[in-house]
Structure 1
Amino acid sequence: MTTETAREQTSAEHPWPVRTVARKIADWIHRLGAVWVEGQVTQISARPGTQTAFLTLRDPAADVSMTVTCPMRLVRGIEPPLRDGASVVLYAKPSFFLGRGTISLRASEIRPVGIGELLARIERLRRLLDAEGLFAPERKRRLPFLPKGIGLITGRASAAEHDVLANAHARWPAARFQVVNTAVQGPTAVPQIRKALSLLDADPDVDVIVIARGGGSVEDLLPFSDETLCRAVAAAGTPVVSAIGHEPDSPLLDYVADLRCSTPTDAGKRIVPDVKEETARVLQLRDRARRALHGWVDTQCRLLDQLRSRPVLADPLGPIERRAEEVELHTERGRRAILATLSTEQAAIAAARARLTALGPAATMARGYTVVQYPDAEGNLQVLRSISEVSEGTPLRVRVVDGAVHAMTTTTEPGE
């Protein structure tokens, strides 16, 4: 019956009663065929005296479950007996319970998944993830030297939680943890661990995430080989540490995690440094730095002593005093040379002055000679050198030693 057909047959004025809807749903579901289903068994209810056993089949990678009913003989005939968390493959047909309106699977065959099959599936998944590069060493990130916050995913009040916290705080008492308790086995483990991983990965105060659990059987550790969990760890932006205490068979989480620790105790020792070791290392480095500084100072002091011992620095004023004496000597020599040169030049000047005086017209006029001048055509006075330069009536200026006399030419008389 399709939705359009049901809509045509019903209306607000003519609705179907609940029994009709339930019956039609049952008819549709009962027409479905049987299917093979795989999951983990939880909440087994097989009470004595009853003919029907009730199981809950849960998907290990998602928060999805379905109710399964089966004849009691199927459950009792399984060896070893079924227990919570067991992986099974069953052949069942969907069934609709009319009285409660619920859907369940009616199983006619139940096959437990053996350890060999589980290990073979894990091995096939390991090869697949390895081929995709999820195990590659180059994609693994180094843990921070001192994380400001550490996320811890583990079981509630478990020995693994105690071991991680106790050892980490023993090494670094100030280590800050954000603990998220989840199921670490069974069908609910993977969804809870993935949710906790997403929560811690989104927290900016968490620098490293530790997923810890103590030892256990292969079935108990199946959640840590789940494909969805491995891919979630590989996609996390925060470094993840795997601390599953099961050495013989490592779950796939150990290969995907950025760091694998053999036990939760080992994880507590490797996620934080040892405060005693770091204190000793700081003291050692300080001592080395102090020795290096003292050695450098000593070297520089010896170098300064060597420089001070050199003659030029041992008596720094001596060369200056010697040079000062040389400067004074050369200054005196220069002064004497200049004075000698001045004396020589002064004597030469005096001799030249005497010669000029003797040869000058003033000295000649002092002996009784005169200088006669006449005006030329332009009125400028010219020295009279010949009687031909004047005529009668020419005014004359007669210069003597103490002045000048003005005269007039009356006659000229040629010489012998």
Structure 2
Amino acid sequence: MPSLRDTTAEAPAPVRAVSNALAQWIGQLGAIWVEGQVTQFTRRPGLGTVFLTLRDPVAEVSVQVTCARTLFDSLNPPLVEGASIVIRARPSFYAGNGSLSLAASDVRMVGLGELLARLERRRQLLAAEGLFDPSLKRRLPFLPGCVGLVTAPGSAAERDVVDSARRRWPAVRIEAAYAAMQGQRSALEVIEAVERLDRDPSVDVIVVARGGGSVEDLLPFSDEGLIRAVHRVRTPVVSAIGHEPDSPLLDLVADVRASTPTDAAKRVVPDVAEEQQLLATARERLRDGLTRWIAREQQGLDALRSRPVLADPRTLVAERSAEVVDLRGRARRCLGHALDRAADNLDHQRARVRALSPLATLERGYAVLQDDAGHVVTSVAGVSAGAAVSVRVADGRVHATTTGTEADPPKEAVQ
């Protein structure tokens, strides 16, 4: 095949020859260092390669980068979109689709990315010590009598906090402790202001407030000394640094994070109008509940009073009195019947006894003959002629002397 320099319209070079030549030439460049900004990265499941898009920070130029998954996962902090990095990579040209890519063998953070990496390592170190433990967070007082404010003098953050707090609760007192909120001495002055307010027993909550800014401007609020100082104080601390996207390490150690200084005032001080409305609603609910309770109890009392026993207590007494009279009559009748039956039984028993008595027999004309010794004479053999005897009759005795005896004939003879 002729050299690519010798190609003509009559003898052109095929695409494969051009692609292979480009791949050979680019492969001779060797490893190079490239700086850029990560605009996109893709991690496909089951694939050991991560695909990144590296963009030039000035021109609208980008290049594809391949990186081993192990290298990508070992970055600390993890690589995010928008981070500035420097990579050591070997250029490669894929002849199949004519694409140029860089195969990265080393990735390093630079500029803002390196700064964010240092902050991430510091966050991990302090988190490992337990300074950001959610269980250490303290609840803010419902209605603080005095709010300590750490901010720059005359700053917009001070006006936002003071105006919002007093608009919500006019009686609130603001104790300001001014400090530089930017620069080399900022962290030290903020530490001194926080500790001074913490020593003041009248301060119920401390607000550290600053307006928005760049990452470099907010670096003092990620200072390790400030983080440890806020961790030591006994007064609840509210962090109101920057805007919603800003997240210095102070937000993690503070008891409450506010997105803006105005939001901090809303979180610290209740709204008097809302509280009055809530109080009025609660009073109305209590009044309605008490009214319903009294009405229910009144209905129960009326129901009790409407019962016959309570309407006329004498009704129960009259009913019981009638029952007593009835029971007493029944008792008298039962006793009378029992006495009558007992008297009849007594008469019967007396009649039977009288029927069995010898006197009754004597009254019918019979008599009992006794000898002088008092023995009853039952046979003529026991009495001789001329013997003294006594005859017992119903009303007395008759003394007599026998003149003779006469025996009855035998019963067989009589038959």
Please report the TM-score for the alignment, with normalisation by the length of structure 1: 0.51
1:125 to 80, 95, 118: 118
* Contact 2:369 2:377 (8 Å CA) reproduced: no
In structure 2, what residue type is equivalent to 1:127?
A: E
1:103 is aligned to none
1:339-388: CA deviation from partner (whole Å, max 9, x where unpaired): 2443243133224324423532455567785696999xxxxxx9757689
Is it true that 1:359 corresponds to 2:352 in the alignment? no
1:289 to 261, 283, 286: 286
TM-aligned CA deviation for residue 165 of structure 1: 3.6
Name the SS of the counterpart of 2:141 in structure 1.
coil
Query: Whole-Å Cα distance in 2 between the matches of residues 131 and 374 of structure 1?
Result: 147
1:82 is aligned to none
Name the SS of the counterpart of 2:289 in structure 1.
helix
How many residue pairs get matched? 289
Name the SS of the counterpart of 1:356 in structure 2.
helix
1:286-310: CA deviation from partner (whole Å, max 9, x where unpaired): 1012223323444455566677778
* Contact 1:151 1:206 (8 Å CA) reproduced: yes
1:347 is aligned to 344
TM-aligned CA deviation for residue 126 of structure 1: 3.4
Is it true that 1:279 corresponds to 2:276 in the alignment? yes
Cα distance change, pair 141–401 in 1 and its aligned pair in 2 (3 A) = same
Q: 1:297-336, aligned counterparts within 5 Å?
A: 297-301=294-298, 332=329, 335-336=332-333
1:10-36: CA deviation from partner (whole Å, max 9, x where unpaired): xxxxxxxxxxxxxxxxxxxxxxxxxxx
* Contact 1:122 1:225 (8 Å CA) reproduced: no
Is it true that 1:185 corresponds to 2:182 in the alignment? yes
Cα distance change, pair 254–398 in 1 and its aligned pair in 2 (3 A) = same
Query: Whole-Å Cα distance in 1 between the matches of residues 175 and 136 of structure 2?
Result: 25
Query: Whole-Å Cα distance in 2 between the matches of residues 243 and 196 of structure 1?
Result: 15
Cα distance change, pair 142–250 in 1 and its aligned pair in 2 (3 A) = same
Q: 1:168-183, aligned counterparts within 5 Å?
A: 168-183=165-180
In structure 2, what residue type is equivalent to 1:126?
A: L
TM-aligned CA deviation for residue 228 of structure 1: 2.6
* Contact 2:150 2:190 (8 Å CA) reproduced: yes
TM-aligned CA deviation for residue 255 of structure 1: 4.5
Residue range with higher mean Cα deviation, 195-204 or 121-130: 195-204
TM-aligned CA deviation for residue 242 of structure 1: 1.4
1:20 is aligned to none
1:218-262: CA deviation from partner (whole Å, max 9, x where unpaired): 655432232332344355554321123456755443354333334
Name the SS of the counterpart of 1:348 in structure 2.
helix
Cα distance change, pair 374–256 in 1 and its aligned pair in 2 (3 A) = farther
Query: Whole-Å Cα distance in 2 between the matches of residues 356 and 172 of structure 1?
Result: 116
Cα distance change, pair 262–343 in 1 and its aligned pair in 2 (3 A) = closer
Q: 1:112-151, aligned counterparts within 5 Å?
A: 117=111, 119-132=112-125, 133=127, 140-147=137-144, 149-151=146-148
In structure 2, what residue type is equivalent to 1:212?
A: A
Please report the TM-score for the alignment, with normalisation by the length of structure 2: 0.51
1:242 to 217, 239, 242: 239
TM-aligned CA deviation for residue 151 of structure 1: 3.1
* Contact 1:125 1:227 (8 Å CA) reproduced: no
1:208 is aligned to 205
In structure 2, what residue type is equivalent to 1:180?
A: A
Cα distance change, pair 256–343 in 1 and its aligned pair in 2 (3 A) = closer
TM-aligned CA deviation for residue 131 of structure 1: 3.7
1:267 is aligned to 264
In structure 1, what residue type is equivalent to 2:120?
A: R
Unaligned runs of 5+ in 2: 1-109, 409-415
Unaligned runs of 5+ in 1: 1-115, 376-381
In structure 2, what residue type is equivalent to 1:124?
A: A
Q: 1:396-411, aligned counterparts within 5 Å?
A: none
Residue range with higher mean Cα deviation, 329-338 or 123-132: 329-338
Query: Whole-Å Cα distance in 2 between the matches of residues 311 and 169 of structure 1?
Result: 65
1:229 to 182, 202, 226: 226
Query: Whole-Å Cα distance in 2 between the matches of residues 373 and 183 of structure 1?
Result: 158
TM-aligned CA deviation for residue 270 of structure 1: 1.7
TM-aligned CA deviation for residue 273 of structure 1: 1.0
Cα distance change, pair 168–372 in 1 and its aligned pair in 2 (3 A) = farther
Query: Whole-Å Cα distance in 1 between the matches of residues 153 and 327 of structure 2?
Result: 103
Query: Whole-Å Cα distance in 2 between the matches of residues 336 and 244 of structure 1?
Result: 104
Is it true that 1:258 corresponds to 2:255 in the alignment? yes
Name the SS of the counterpart of 1:241 in structure 2.
strand
Name the SS of the counterpart of 1:292 in structure 2.
helix
Query: Whole-Å Cα distance in 1 between the matches of residues 376 and 269 of structure 2?
Result: 129
Name the SS of the counterpart of 1:185 in structure 2.
coil
Q: Which has the higher contact order (CA 8 A, sep 6+)?
A: 1
Cα distance change, pair 135–374 in 1 and its aligned pair in 2 (3 A) = farther
Cα distance change, pair 224–354 in 1 and its aligned pair in 2 (3 A) = same
% identical equivalent positions: 47
Q: CA RMSD in A?
A: 5.1
TM-aligned CA deviation for residue 202 of structure 1: 6.1
